[in-house]
A = this chain, B = another copy of it.
Amino acid sequence: PAVDVTPEADVAGLAEFLDSLKWDANGLVAAICQHVDTGELLMQAFADRNAVSETLQTGLATFYSRSRKGRWCKGETSEHYINVLSMHPDCDRDSLIYLSSPIGPACHTGAPTCWFSEAKLGDAGLHEAGGHADRAHAPATTLMVLERTIQQRRSAPVGGKPSWTQRLLADPALACAKVREEAGELCAALEGKEGPERAASEAADLLYHSLVLLNLQGVAVEDVLRVLRQRFGTSGIAEKAARPPNQAPH
């Protein structure tokens, strides 16, 4: 291999771990890269023993390419490496999550992730929407959908009565007043022992208005999450993964 990887027999416990995985008839397990901050699934591929061993040792997502029938370190040609922060086998041990921090787009199409379209069953039948150039139909968690929705309100033409989000976007002073107000209401829920449901609702208010404020300043939720991750430390293969891309093995 192009990289300096210690043979599995020379790493204590590694052969036993690899033996414990449930390899398919071709000696592969599924490997799914997930973005540690946004939760997005980045890509899915397959890994053989060597790929799992190399990923653990280098902290770079490595697979077995079924088409090229060999080792495949994602990013070796594109420079779009995927740093793997931790590795997690599933209950029946035929699937691994590579919890990841990607460098650049994960998909060969140039899309941030390999999942960018949606199959929807409506009254007119099955319709697929989305493409690699747009994120509108990519699967996204609630927090990311909320951010996307606020951004869409910003771009949408205001026809007739503007939505509440559009009013906030057009009036930063109002947005700031609301953030202060909702923070106060979240505190009041605790101080007044208003109960968990009320607290959850006030936290939702505060989170939504904070996201509007971030949008006004061109800050992505992902940026905030990255700040939190860097403050609260990382785990797993973190030290290697913190290596800058230009020091990645080639």
Contacts and interface: CB of A to CB of B under 8 A. Distances in A.
Interface of A: 11-14, 16-17, 20, 30, 32, 34-41, 43-44, 56-57, 86-92, 95, 97, 99, 107-109, 111, 114-121, 124-128, 132, 137-139, 141-143, 145-146, 149, 172, 175-176, 179-180, 182-184, 186-187, 189-191, 195-196, 199-201, 203-204, 206-208, 210, 213-214, 216-219, 223-229, 231-232, 236-237
B142 A143 contact: no
21 contacts: A13-B124, A16-B126, A32-B41, A34-B41, A37-B141, A38-B141, A89-B119, A91-B109, A91-B132, A141-B225, A143-B143, A143-B225, A146-B232, A176-B190, A176-B191, A179-B187, A180-B184, A180-B187, A200-B219, A203-B213, A208-B228
A223 B138 CA distance: 23
Identical subunits present: 2
Contacts of A208: 228
A146 B216 contact: no
Given A13-B125, A87-B120, A183-B210, 8 more contacts: A38-B39, A87-B119, A180-B180, A182-B183, A186-B210, A199-B219, A200-B219, A203-B213
Nearest to A177: B187
Contacts of A145: 229, 232
Interface centre among A111, A115, A128 (most CB of B within 10 A): A115
B232 A217 contact: no
B190 A121 contact: no
A142 B36 contact: yes
A183 B207 CA distance: 11
A30 B11 contact: no
Contact of A88 (B13, B35, B43, B117): B117
